[in-house]
Amino acid sequence: MLLTGASISRLSPRISRHFFPRRPVFQRPASPVRACSQLCYPLLDATKKLEEETLPWYQVIGKLGYGGYSTVWLCRDLQMHDYITLKVFERNSAEGQREVETYRHLNTLGTTDHAGAKLFRKALDSFQITSEEGNFGCLVHPTLGISLYDFRAQLRAKVLPESIVKLTLIHLLLALDYLHTDAGIVHTDIQEKNIMMAIGDPSILADFEEEEKSGPSPRKSVGDRVIYASRKLRRTTQHGRSTLCDFGQARRGSDTYHGDIQPYIYRAPENAGWLTWDLFEQGHLFHGRDSDKKSSDAHHIAEIIANSVYATEFFDDEGNWKGAIEIPSRSLETLEGNLEGEPRLLFLRFLRKMLQWKPEERFSARELLEDPWLRSP
């Protein structure tokens, strides 16, 4: 399958060459509008390809996966002679538009020496597929490997070694510090599935292509649509650094936003703290579900305030819990079972710097980067 000028409407030049042309700080006034000829221009056959329409750009190889509002495909960039990942958003997707706008904003920031600027996924291009049914936005990314979620699932212990957890968190916190302080962006959807590992063995991409040629992935036809099954990249022991991805839920600027964000298990007071726990411990710290396994704000709050110094805010004058949910009897010390001695003490102190009820008492990403546990060998 080729994506050509006949099927797409460009939103911008390649993002790596800037969404918008640079303008000098001081420039002369705009030129006056010139009168154009009113003569009729030749109208060509709309079914015939013209000039740049004859140049194919991306060739789809196979489906890598899907998300809540997009599908992801491995493609060949026929102009740059390389593999890329194409993210195709659902029709008229608000998340897709938000992600494109976020990358446009990031691109206006220019070059920087901040290490975190290299630790989130870049966008190489952006275009739009148009049809009678609506518009489908697309982003082109460098191809990455598996997510932290899939990587951890491959391990026998189902948790990451302490050294890998520390390195992963350093990369994540550097990326967040850049986004928060330099870019004015809050990601709002930090979770294992949105942190991907760079590819250490590029041959897995060629293998994917050969496997798709020799044994095409299953698919089904629904009306005039074809729905494809995803194919996973070959397992490898060579992985690159962690990279923060997916800006579909990102917010920027100084506006105040309302509404829930994050999956239940990662919600405030600090989702980076919950992620740290999941990477290093057996099971989630919080679940936010009732006895029927349904999402429950009441159960989530009860888990959060267990042994909290602010718990009295949620009890009446007689000391009775204002909700109907039993407060679990537990603490970080009783739940942590992976470390001993000084490392265990430092790890729990690191977590508590994030797990603070009041936002002003939580440590920032930059402050957390100086934490003794994170910096210890």
Q: Which residues are catalytic?
A: 189
Is-contact 86 72, C-beta < 8 A? Answer: yes
Please report the beta strands in the chain, taking only residues with DSSP state E, as ranges in sequence order. Answer: 2-3, 8-10, 58-66, 70-77, 82-89, 125-131, 134-141, 185-186, 195-199, 219-222, 225-228, 239-244, 251-252
Taking phi first (over 0 means left), then psi (-120 to 50 degrees means alpha), and beta for anything else, what does residue 337 get?
alpha
Radius of gyration for the chain, computed over Cα atoms and rounded to the nearest angstrom: 25
Integer Cα distance of 308 and 330 in angstroms: 11
Is-contact 120 244, C-beta < 8 A? Answer: yes
Is-contact 19 73, C-beta < 8 A? Answer: no
Is-contact 265 276, C-beta < 8 A? Answer: no
